[in-house]
Each structure stands twice: as C-alpha cells, then as structure tokens.
C-alpha cells in the first residue's frame, strides 16, 4: 500500500485502536472480501487400506464404554485441530463391534451415517430401528433421540464401519449447539423396522400427515433401491458429461434436502467414464461404494477404490474418472448455501 | 477419562493417526457437541466518545483513495485477528468526509448500513441514490453494484459515520466469496431518489413485478417513518415485557427478512423500562440511536448512550433498561439460524 | 357429427344411460373442453347517475333493520339469477345511512369494501374500527367478526356507499360456505383505530408476529397513501403501455395477495393515455375513482366517469383510455387462477 | 320478512333495478351466504354390473374415430346437464378396445386416469408411454400432449376401461380453458417406459432437476407398489378409526398434491372395518378396487363391490364399512380448497 503516512504513525494508531478492540479494515479488505473463494482447505484422500488397521486398533485398544462413539475423525490437512474436513463439515469413520451398544443421546447437530463396511449393526431413531447394510444412507435428525448397536444379522456378527457426516462446524460457528443424554441405554422400540420407509417412501403420505420438521421422515435410504435406479437411468442414457448419473437424496414430504444443513448425493460413473471439469462453492466429501477410478482435484490426482474417502474443497475444479463401474456417495453444505443465496457452480468445458 | 490403555500407548496411536490426518473423536466429543452454546464470544461495548477521536484521526491520517473503505472494524475481544464481532457477524464504523467518493464494486457479501452520525452522504444501489440520515437503515444486496459519496445536503456538508454490518464471516466460513470492482468510479444514476420506496414500500407492488432475489427491493428504510411507528405502537400499549416495542424490518415482497443472511430490528424502550431476561442463539450487535440506559449481559452491566455500540453473544442472558426513551437498532444472523432450523430463544421470568 | 349409427338408436341409448345418470361425452366434448375460454359473461357498465337514484330509494323504502345489508347486487346481464358479476365474483353497492348499524357476523366468504361515495362510515374487524373515506380499500377476512356503522366524521354525517366484492360464487361452487351471527350488535373495540396499519403496514412487523391466516393483517389501505404512490411513479416515468401505472395491493406479511381468493389493483391513467390491448383469463370488476375515459371491451365501447362500475369478462380483449387523469380500482379471482396454475394473460400489440 | 313496504311497491322497485342488471341482496342473503354447505349435490352409486353393458354397447355402436374419447360421463343426479359428478369435479368411464388409438391433444384441464378393468392399454405423456394395469393411477398434466391406445400385453388384448377424473367444471367456472389438437396421431416416444418413475419416484431426484410445473413428474403410480404399502401399514397397526389406512398420493418433487386441482387417495379397509362418521367440504368420487362393503352417506346406505363408483357430496356425513378386505381409490378438489383456505373437515364420534 502506497501511503504518505509514515509506517510508524500508522502502527501507533493501530495499536491504540487495538486497545478498543478495533482494527483498520483497509489493511485486510482484500482478504475479507476476496476476489474468489480462497479458503484454506486442501483436497485429501483417505485410503481404506491405510485407515482400516487403525480402525481395527481402535477397536482393540479402546472399549465402547470408554469411547462412547469410537470414531476416527477425518481432518482436513489444512485445518489441524478443527475436527473439520472442510470449514463447515465434519466427517469421521465410526466402528461398532459385535455386541456393542452406543447409548442414546440427542443433539442439535444433524447427522448422516453412510455404511462403509460390514453388515448387521443397527441405528434406532424415533422408536424405530434400521439394520445397516453397506451403501445405505441413514439420517439422524436434529434433536432426535438415537442409539446404535451391533446385533448381527442372519446369525452372523461382524465389525461395522460407517461414515459419520455432521454439521458440527456449522453449529459451532453459529454457536447454537445443545446436547442431552438419555438415562436409558437404548430407546424403546415402538415401530417395526421399515415402517417409516413404507409410510413415507413410496410417493404416498398418510392422509393427515403434517411434517413437524424440515428433516426427512424417511431415515433410511437403502442401497439396493438406489443402486437399481442408478443402473436403470444409466441404461436409459441419462448420463451427464460432468457427473455421470448423479442423483440427490430427497425428503419426500417436501422435495427438498433430507436435512436442512446437509445435502447428500449418489452417483454412478460407468466404466471408462471421464468427466468434464466442474466446480462449486459447496465443497464435498466422497465415499467410494464400488469400483475404482481417479479424482483430479485442483491439478492433483487421487486414485480411489472401494471404501476410500476424499474431500473436494470449495471452488476447486475437479474431474472424475472411472476404471470400472463406480458408485460414489457424497455430501456437502449445499442446502445452507442455497438458503443464503450464495451457491455458485460451474460446468467447464475443458 | 478412566481407561485401561496406558497413556503412552494412546499417545502413540494418536500420533500415528495424526499422520493420516485423523484424530480420535472420544478425546473431544463433549467439546464438539456441547451441552449448550459455549462459543468464545464475550459481550463488549464501544462508547461513542471513545471511538469518535479515532474515527476522526482515521479521517485525517488516511485518505479515501488510500483506504477505499475507511472503516474501523469492531472486533470481539475474544476473537482477535478474526475481524468479527461475533463468530458469524462483521461490524465496522465507516467514515466518509465531505467530497469523498468510495468507488463502485460488488460482492457476494450482503451489507447493511445503519447511519450513526452526520447527514448528507449517499449510497447508490442499482442505479438509485439514497441520501443518508441518522437512523436510516440501508441495504446493499449481495452481488449488487454500489458506491458511496458525501455531497452534503441543503448546502451543508459534514463527516458522516455509519455502522457497516456484513455477513463476511459467514461467506468466509462457507468459502463462497466473490468480488468485482467497477471500472467506473460511480455507477450511472438511472432512477430518481425514492423511487424504490414508492414502488415497493407502501403495501403495493407493480402488477408485473417478480422478485429476482430474496433481498428486499426497498434498500432504504428511513428513520422518520420507523420512529413514528414505534411511538404509535407504544402509545397503543403494544409493549413487550422483554423487548419493549420491538419490530423486525421486512422485505415487502416476501414478508421475510430484508436479506437472506442478516436480520435487522428496531426497538423502543420507554423511559424507565426494565426488561425481563432474554436469551437467544442468535447473538446481536446493537447501535444506540436515542436515549441512555443499561444492558446487563451475562451478569456484566454496560451503560449506553447515543451512538454507542454493543454486542450480545449467543445464548447469553441479557436484560435492557432505559433511563429516558431509548431507541436501539440491532442485527443478527437469525435468518440463517431459522433456515438451518437451529434457532432457540427463551423469555425468562426473572 | 358424421356417423353410421341411426339417430334413433343413438337416442335410445342416450335415454337408457340417462336412467343411470350417465351421458355420452362425445356429444359435448368440444363444449366441455373448449378451444379457448367461451364462458357466457358479457361486459357491462353501471353508470353512477343511473344507479344512485335506486340506491337512494333503497334507503328510503327499506330500513336497515329489515335489509341488514342494504345492497344492490351488480349482476352480469348474461347470468340472471346467479347474483354474480362474473361466474366467480360477486359485486354489490351497499348503502349505509347516518346512524345506522349493520350487526356483527362472520362467514367463510372473504369480502372487500371499496369506498365509492360519502365519508364517515366505519367498519370494525377483529376489534379495530376503521373510518371509511372514498378510495379506501378495506378487507373483511374470511371467518372474522365484522360489523359496520355510520357515525359520521368531524361532526358531519352523510350516506355512504361502497362496493362490496366477495368470492360468494366460488364458495358456493366449492360448497364450503359457513356463516355465524353474533349475539352482540357490534363487536367490542379492543384496539385504537390505525393500530393494524401501524403494526404491519410500514415494512416492519412485530418481532414475534406469526401470520395466522393467508389474509393481510392490514385491513385498511387508505386512498391518500395509494394515490400518492401512483402519482410519484407516474412522475418517475413508470408507465406501462397497456396498464398505465398499475399496482397490486399486497399482504405485507407474505408479499402475496391481500386475500387468498381475491386480487385487488389500483391504476392510474394519465390524461390522454390510450392503452394497448390486453386480455387475461381473470375477468375483473372496475370501480372508477377519479377521471373520465373509455374502456373498449371485446369491441364495445363504454364511457366511464367517477363512481361508475364495469366488468371485463375472462379473455375478452380490452383497452383503457383516459380523457383526464383517471384512477381505477379493480378486483379479480387471480390468486385462485394462480394457485390452480391456469392463469394466462396476453399483452397484444394492436 | 316482516316489512312495512307494500309488496307491490317492492316488486316495482325490483323490476326497475332489474332493468339495470341489479338485484336486491336482502332477498337472497341467506341463500348466498348459507349457514353451512347447502349445495344441490346428492350421493350416488354406479354399480359396475349396471354400467358394464352400456360401456360394451358404446364399444359396438360407436367407433373410436367417431367418439375420439368414448366415455360415459357420471353425472350427479341433482346436476342434470352439467356433466359434473360434483359441482367442481368431472368423472367418466372411458373404454378403449384392442387396436384403437385416441389421438394426441392437450388442454388446460388436468386429468387423472384410474384403471378399472382390463390390461394392456397405454397412455403416452411427454414422450413416455406407460402400460395400464388395474389399480394404477396415472396423470395427464395440464397442457401436456397425451394420447392413448390399446396394444395389449403379453400377446393378449382386451377391452380396457378406466375412470377419468378431471377438473373440467373448475376450468369452466373460472373460464380459463384452452385446448389444442396435434397433427400427429400419436406423439413420438422419446423415453423408455418406466423412466419417469425411476428418475423421480425413489426418494431421489436428478441433481440438476428443477420442477417446471406444480404437477408431479411421475405420471404413473403403479398399483402393486401402492397395494404393498397399504398392507404393510395395516400389519404395522396404522389404522385410523375413520379412514382405515388412508394415504394421499404425493408429488415427490414438492411433497404436495400430484396436480394443483385434484387430490387423489388410496385407502384400505380391513375385513370387518366399520368406520366412524366423517365429513369434509371436499366432496369425493370413489372407485372400488377390491372387496365389498357399504358406504352410508347422509343416512343413505350404498352397498359396493369391485369396480363400483360412488360420490360423497360436500359436508355430508358418511361412514365406510368393509365386509372383506376392501381397497378404495378416491379423488377430490382438496388442493383448491386448501389454496383458498376454506377446507374444513370433521371426525365425528358417533
């Protein structure tokens, strides 16, 4: 900055106003109001083969009672100490061993569970249990009692790992978090498994039903159903040059997002797909369900395979490529950016 | 935490996963998902008599050309270096001297101007100028060209100071900021002053009008009109035991907030008013328009008078008291908390 | 219709199914699903000088006690016996003499009062009275207690005539009408006159206000304010080649229509204005407030002056012309057509 | 009416104003603003065994070319000549014989097809065909090209009969009907059958999808899926004492009604169900899919069996009773009554 004011005078002034908790805007305007998104986040990949041994170790070293929620948090390399995978999103990998139970609590934070590995755990929301199968997308709505357990399925029991996606950084940012623990270990089951999906998930709603919150009344979106749709649309030729076949999960009572703070997506990239470059202000976390391929993010290449996770920061140009048929789950803060009227996205040509 | 795992083993494990950009949730769960809002912000007061000398000094030491926007940012004492008055809000006091012009630009950030001191500056938005008078609330909508100047009024010219309120921290947090500078110093004036208020501000709308954004088409809410309403409602007895006569500014095309990220309020506390305690998850910044009184925030007492500013953090219980008739402007992030479905507020009894 | 079936056989068949309450669609398809709107309504004009003597006569011949609501209903000439001015709208001219009172009742039907003649009557809605002045637009919301009276103003008393606009035919068509009479003659006044306009009518709303119905919380839109806006926009050059300066009244709590069933408009035609042709599927009833001019509707010319009323049926092309500065109030069923997604309108070039 | 005015004078007055197209409100107020719904409609039942012979006769006597749409309209006995089953609803039974084609057209009227009898006809909407099976609910959205045909299925061909439900009386009432005939016999098929249901019907939506109209993008709601949900909810105990298991069809892009003018419902009455009395301002047309039972409407009893149709007028109290497991489809004008804010319904105790 070219100025007639001697640096020393300016400094003295800055120190004086500092006493009053004031700072000069002109020294930081271009940082505060950037020309385009310039946040600190970097792309990153967590390979399943690297992560799995530590998840297993966490299972042996630390008991469920001790850990309550035995989760390894995926932290953006550029945000050490923030427990955030982007500035607004939290992601972690949670392990639950056969026979374990995570006691009931509720919190303002909205959570998604995306099942990565193993079968037979359950989560209970609002009096209904759902058994977790790989690829299922499950919701824990804001301020709703929930607990987890791992009872096994078909007489077999195995460790189960899921991706936790939460809006923890948002709630922290807006400083609006509340949490409550239940006195009961698990909540009472009041409805048979599958009731919510039957009630709300087939383009029909109970005649007197009025939504009591913006969160989807369906809390489990099973993978087999989603997978079928992706393939069907692929066969019908509904393939986008940027996204392949990309769908967003929907709250059937509103047509909106499943949760007010988190958008979730599932996409299918046919073998050999090589997507055009895309960027968006909502950075996203990806969980690979099937297949292998490559994400090129801001010039960096990340090879991915099943159960790998990666993060694409805001406004970084990226492309997706599939070696064999690939299925990717992802989530972002898109509903909030839409509510704030600040979402921008761009499909680029090359 | 009581555990059988030797601290040293655990530490080793933590260091190993740290290499993979992972951290153990169980060490920080209660911080990440707090029992109730526990953000770092503290209440603070900026007395006009303390602030004014520095504003004046900024006017003499630093030219408008140099400073572009000559603003002293009000920074929360607990957030040094963040240019934030709460975690989500930015507030600053801007000075414009007679004859100065601040060149046109636009940005994703939504801005409000609340006129604190002096008459005769103008702001131009979307081809229409509005002359600023103390107590006026003026909007600069997201991604709209705007510029300011100080031409004086009625042949007189004086320094003008206004409160800038912006969503800068939110846009930074969601990493969605864009900014563009105009090649022209000022934008071309295409509509006479007052046209927008006439068009949209009298419970009538042009028959073919369709809103093109969620931001209010009125960009100036003059104080004289607002003041009249406050007094009228006071005379009619519409006084709330917590808030006095408290009104929210409205986008007349939707009935919603004037901007998608910022709520604005004006309230009247009759002489002798002593409000009951209140708390809310949307912290707020106050600008005192008239009168003297006291805000007791989280047990701390702050005496206020005209042109003083103070901040009430999220979920801190506070009460308002007026010595003589007081008028307070305030703003918060309430529209966002409502969109996220996380707003909580509580009227307490004692 | 060319057919091999002997007419006599067909007739026999038709008679047989008639017994079972069935009719053959193929005999009436083109009528039931017309190529374009083909309703029976015709344009019509009611000149004040013709109507006034009968209004006065109704005042002398029939007491208020007897008539309760002393109204001459404007009936579309093509719909005798339907008490309808278009198929969906009701319009009538109501007279209230000095000292008279029309007792309180409420009904599902939404009503508008547009004051045509005389000063000093009042209507009371929801515990608040409003004094009626020519040109004022006043709402009686659905299922809200209301009563009228004529107490005079400034010590003077005169007969008052207003236009009643209601959705009576719609409520009859959907067969959803309910009505209740109060045991009290007038309702108790609980709020001072003008309170609702102060509360809701200045781009501000009480901070805790939540609309309890889709009807505007403002129930009086005074003419002086509306008139000022029209002139201001005319001076600013906001004149449409079809409509002049045309505004729609707005519910300030939503930006939508004042009532869910009725749209209301006010428009200004500067002296010499000769509008281009327009048509719309929502037929409308006009009340002339000021000025003289001509409406050419479906090829027929209607000269209008102050206090005249005319009706433009659905999809009839019409133009408006002003001799001297003219102000026209109008209402239609536009909100319903919009909700049904069937509204069409067309600005024609010649 | 007790009055001092000689009857003869009054009559003369009425005749004079009649000349000016005016009538006295006070002679008809209580009819126009009734104490409660008092429309002319009566309940009625159309037994399949009575209706079928005439449908078959219509098939032999009248060719498809001649009839275009070979439909027997169900007319309310109290509305002869109106082609209406209630004041606002149209219902008809349409027959299409093997090999026939009904040429493409489009109209403002929204239509539903509910398949009553036979398999293997198709309807094509917006470039996609859907094969009709009994119990399927199919939409023809407003102003969308559509055509029908009967090609058979699995090598077999049979006459197909469906219930047509339209908003014809509403569009006539608001006088907003437009219609256009295609020059092509059938529209070009551009998407494989089932594509729309795959795209929009599984709680997922294409990521870039934006609804272009309020009508559901799913145009076929297959019976097998609906039937499964009804039974599942019955097994789960979700049985209402008035309605049994009653669901409304939903537009998955909004959570609202499938069409802006028509609500559609499907309900399951377990064998032996005897419902409590209910009334609602939206009269409804019922089509019996399975089972036998009894509807008691306004004191009249109607025995029903498969493929029978009956109509319940506005605000008539009725109860439903099932001998064996019964499934009933129904439709009404509920979306419009909700938009007008006039819907009332009442669950009575005995």
Q: Concatenate the DSSP letters of all residues of B226-257 into one string.
A: HHHHHHHHHHTT--BTTTBEEEEE--TTTSS-
**Joined tokens for residue C183:** 């045991």
Q: Concatenate the DSSP letters of all residues of C263-329 into one string.
A: EEEEEEE-TT-BPPPEEESS-EEEEEEE--EEEEETTEEEEE-TT-EEEE-TT--EEEEESS-EEEE
CA angle (A60, A104, A114) in 5-degree steps: 65
Residues belonging to chain C: 350
Chain A residues with CB inside 8 Å of D252's CB? Answer: 203, 250, 252, 255
The 3-state secondary structure of C69-96, one letter per residue: CCEEEECCCCCCCCCCCCCCCEEEEEEE
For chain A, list the contacting chains (3+ Cβ pairs, <8 Å). B, D
> Are B288 and B306 in contact, with CB atoms under 8 Å apart?
yes
d(CA A273, CA A288): 15
> What pLDDT does residue A10 have?
87
Smallest CA-to-CA distance from D328 within D290, D280, D282, D281 is with D290
Q: Where are the alpha helices (DSSP H) in chain B?
A: 7-19, 29-32, 48-61, 64-67, 168-173, 195-200, 223-235, 334-339
For chain D, list the contacting chains (3+ Cβ pairs, <8 Å). A, C
Nearest Cβ partner for D72 among C24, C174, C282: C24
Displacement of CA D11 from its chain's centroid (Å): 44
User: How many CB atoms sit inside 10 A of residue A312's CB?
Assistant: 27
Q: Residue B1: pLDDT above 50?
A: no
Residue D106, H or E segment: strand D101-107
d(CA A166, CA A181): 18
d(CA B87, CA C146): 50
Instruction: Please tell me the number of Cα atoms within 13 Å of C42 on its side-chain side.
Output: 13
**Joined tokens for residue C324:** 């001297």
pLDDT digit string, tens, across residues D290-341: 999 999 999 999 999 999 999 999 999 999 999 999 999 999 999 999 999 9
Sign of CA dihedral B197, B199, B204, B210: negative
Residue D187 pLDDT grade (very low, low, confident, very high; cuts 50, 70, 90)? confident
> What pLDDT does residue D9 have?
83
Q: Residue B4: pLDDT above 80?
A: no
d(CA C266, CA C279): 17
Mean of the per-residue pLDDT values for chain B? 94
Residue ranges and CATH numbers for the domains of chain D are 44-347 (2.60.120.10)
Burial of D135-174, coded b for 16+ CB within 10 Å and e otherwise, reads: bbbbbbbbbbbbbbbbebbeeebebbbbbbbbbbbbbbbb
What are B286's strand-pairing partners?
B310, B330
Say whether residue B205 is in contact with chain C using an 8 A CB cutoff: yes
User: How many CB atoms sit inside 10 A of residue D22's CB?
Assistant: 23
Backbone phi and psi for residue D13, each to the nearest 5 degrees, phi listed first: -60, -45
> What pLDDT does residue C77 have?
98
Angle at which helix C48-61 crosses helix D7-19, to 10 degrees, equals 170
Backbone phi and psi for residue C178, each to the nearest 5 degrees, phi listed first: -130, 150
Pick the range with the lowest mean pLDDT from C333-347, D159-173, D187-201: D187-201
> Smallest CA–CA separation between D192 and chain A, in Å?
7
CA A326 vs CA A48, A268, A296: distances in Å: 16, 6, 15
D and B touch with 3+ CB pairs <8 Å, answer no
d(CA A55, CA A51): 6
Sign of CA dihedral A253, A259, A260, A263: negative
Collect the ranges in chain A with pLDDT lower than 70: 1-6
pLDDT digit string, tens, across residues C9-23: 889 999 999 999 999
pLDDT digit string, tens, across residues D238-262: 999 999 999 999 999 999 999 999 9
Q: Residue B2: pLDDT above 70?
A: no
Roughly how many angstroms between the first and final C-alpha of chain C, as a whole number?
A: 37
Backbone phi and psi for residue B25, each to the nearest 5 degrees, phi listed first: -60, -35
Chain C residues with CB inside 8 Å of B136's CB? Answer: none
> What pLDDT does residue D185 have?
75
> Are B328 and B270 in contact, with CB atoms under 8 Å apart?
no
d(CA C250, CA D51): 51
CB contact under 8 A, D25 and C71: yes
Residue D172 pLDDT grade (very low, low, confident, very high; cuts 50, 70, 90)? very high
Nearest Cβ partner for B34 among A41, A62, A177: A177
Q: How many CB pairs under 8 A join A and D?
A: 114
> What pLDDT does residue A334 have?
98
What are C149's strand-pairing partners?
C101, C122
pLDDT digit string, tens, across residues B102-142: 889 999 999 999 999 999 999 999 899 999 999 999 999 99
Locate the chain B residue with the closest alpha carbon to C249. Answer: B204
CB contact under 8 A, D175 and C10: no
For chain C, list the contacting chains (3+ Cβ pairs, <8 Å). B, D
Q: Any residues with CB less than 8 A from the CB of C75 and at least 6 apart, and which?
A: C82, C83, C84, C85, D21, D22, D23
CA angle (B227, B228, B233) in 5-degree steps: 100
CB contact under 8 A, C67 and D26: yes
Say whether residue B35 is in contact with chain A using an 8 A CB cutoff: yes
Locate the chain D residue with the closest alpha carbon to C6. Answer: D61
> What pLDDT does residue C6 have?
61
Residue D1 pLDDT grade (very low, low, confident, very high; cuts 50, 70, 90)? very low
pLDDT digit string, tens, across residues C81-109: 999 999 999 999 999 999 998 889 999 99
Say whether residue B204 is in contact with chain C using an 8 A CB cutoff: yes
CB contact under 8 A, A1 and B66: yes
In the numeric block, the tokens 């206004």 are attached to B162
Say whether residue D62 is in contact with chain C using an 8 A CB cutoff: yes
Q: Any residues with CB less than 8 A from the CB of C162 and at least 6 apart, and which?
A: C93, C94, C113, C114, C115, C116, C117, C121, C132, C138
The 3-state secondary structure of chain A, one letter per residue: CCCCCCHHHHHHHHHHHHHCCEEEHHHCHHHHCCCCCCCCCCCEEECHHHHHHHHHHHHHHCCHHHHCCCEEEECCCCCCCCCCCCCCCEEEEEEECCCCEEEEEEECCCEEEEEEECCCEEEEECCEEEECCCCCEEEECCCCCEEEEECCECCECCCEEEEEEECHHHHHHHCCCCEEECCCCCCCCCECCCHHHHHHCCCEEECCCCCCCCCCCCCEECHHHHHHHHHHHHHCCCCECCCEEEEEECCCCCCCCCCCCCEEEEEEECCCCECCCEEECCCEEEEEEECCEEEEECCEEEEECCCCEEEECCCCCEEEEECCCEEEEEEECHHHHHHCCCCCEEECCC
Smallest CA-to-CA distance from C76 within D20, D21, D23 is with D21
Residue D32, H or E segment: helix D29-32
**Joined tokens for residue A194:** 């599958």
Say whether residue B11 is in contact with chain A using an 8 A CB cutoff: no
> Smallest CA–CA separation between D211 and chain C, in Å?
13
**Joined tokens for residue A5:** 């004011």
> What pLDDT does residue D299 have?
97
What are C156's strand-pairing partners?
C153
pLDDT above 70: percentage of residues in chain B: 98
pLDDT digit string, tens, across residues B92-105: 999 999 999 888 99
Instruction: Please tell me the number of Cα atoms within 13 Å of B61 on its side-chain side.
Output: 20
What are A182's strand-pairing partners?
none
d(CA A258, CA A167): 13
pLDDT digit string, tens, across residues B135-189: 999 999 999 999 999 998 888 999 999 999 999 999 999 999 999 998 877 778 8
Nearest Cβ partner for D253 among A221, A246, A255: A255
Nearest Cβ partner for C207 among B199, B207, B247: B247
Instruction: Please tell me the number of Cα atoms within 13 Å of A256 on its side-chain side.
Output: 19
Those of residues 236-255 in C touching chain B at CB distance below 8 A are 236, 238, 240, 243, 246-255
Q: Residue C1: pLDDT above 70?
A: no
Locate the chain A residue with the closest alpha carbon to B81. Answer: A23
Q: Residue D287: pLDDT above 60?
A: yes
> Are A175 and B283 in contact, with CB atoms under 8 Å apart?
yes
Q: Any residues with CB less than 8 A from the CB of A40 and at least 6 apart, and which?
A: A76, A78, A79, A87
> What pLDDT does residue D264 have?
98
Nearest Cβ partner for C17 among D39, D67, D72: D72
> What pLDDT does residue A154 have?
87
Smallest CA-to-CA distance from D256 within D177, D163, D338 is with D338
Q: How many CB pairs under 8 A join B and C?
A: 114
> What pLDDT does residue C3 have?
47
Mean of the per-residue pLDDT values for chain D? 94
> Are B262 and B110 in contact, with CB atoms under 8 Å apart?
yes
Three-state secondary-structure class, residue C235: helix
Does the predicted interface ipTM exceed a cut of 0.90? yes
Angle at which helix B7-19 crosses helix A48-61, to 10 degrees, equals 170
Residue C60, H or E segment: helix C48-61
CB contact under 8 A, C57 and D13: yes
d(CA D328, CA D308): 10
> Smallest CA–CA separation between D208 and chain C, in Å?
23
Nearest Cβ partner for B253 among C191, C233, C255: C255
Q: Residue B5: pLDDT above 80?
A: no
Give the pLDDT mean for B30-52: 96
CB contact under 8 A, A35 and B179: yes
Say whether residue A162 is in contact with chain D using an 8 A CB cutoff: no
Q: Any residues with CB less than 8 A from the CB of C71 and at least 6 apart, and which?
A: C92, C93, C94, C95, C164, D24, D25, D26
CB contact under 8 A, D233 and A198: yes
> What pLDDT does residue A6 have?
61
Say whether residue D112 is in contact with chain C using an 8 A CB cutoff: no
């Amino acid at each position: 900055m070219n100025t007639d004011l001697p640096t020393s005078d300016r400094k003295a002034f800055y120190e004086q106003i500092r006493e009053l908790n004031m700072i000069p805007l002109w020294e930081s305007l271009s940082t505060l109001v950037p020309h385009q998104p310039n946040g600190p986040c970097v792309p990153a990949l967590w390979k399943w083969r690297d992560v799995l041994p530590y998840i297993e170790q966490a299972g042996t070293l630390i008991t469920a009672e001790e850990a309550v929620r035995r989760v390894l948090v995926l932290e953006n390399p550029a945000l050490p100490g923030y427990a955030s995978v982007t500035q607004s999103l939290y992601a972690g990998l949670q392990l639950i061993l056969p026979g374990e139970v995570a006691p009931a609590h509720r919190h303002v934070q909205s959570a998604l569970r995306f099942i990565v590995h193993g079968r037979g755990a359950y989560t209970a929301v609002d009096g209904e249990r759902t058994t977790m199968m790989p690829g299922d997308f499950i919701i824990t709505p804001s301020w709703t009692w929930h607990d987890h357990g791992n009872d096994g399925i078909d007489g077999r029991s195995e460790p189960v790992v899921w991706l936790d996606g939460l809006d923890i950084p948002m709630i922290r940012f807006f400083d609006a978090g509340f949490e409550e623990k239940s006195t009961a270990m698990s909540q009472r089951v009041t409805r048979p498994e599958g009731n919510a999906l039957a009630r709300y998930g087939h383009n029909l709603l109970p005649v007197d039903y009025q939504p009591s919150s913006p969160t989807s009344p369906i809390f489990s979106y099973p993978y087999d159903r989603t997978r079928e749709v992706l393939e069907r649309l692929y066969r019908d030729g509904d393939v986008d040059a940027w996204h392949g076949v990309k769908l967003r999960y929907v709250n059937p009572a509103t047509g909106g997002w499943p949760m007010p703070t988190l958008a979730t997506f599932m996409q299918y990239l046919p073998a050999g797909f090589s997507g055009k470059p895309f960027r968006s202000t909502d950075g996203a976390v990806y969980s690979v369900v099937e297949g292998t391929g490559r994400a090129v993010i801001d010039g960096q290449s990340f090879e991915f395979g099943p159960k790998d996770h990666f993060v694409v920061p805001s406004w970084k140009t990226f492309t997706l490529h599939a070696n064999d048929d690939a299925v990717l789950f992802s989530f972002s803060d898109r509903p909030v950016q839409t509510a704030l009227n600040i979402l921008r996205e761009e499909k680029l040509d090359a």
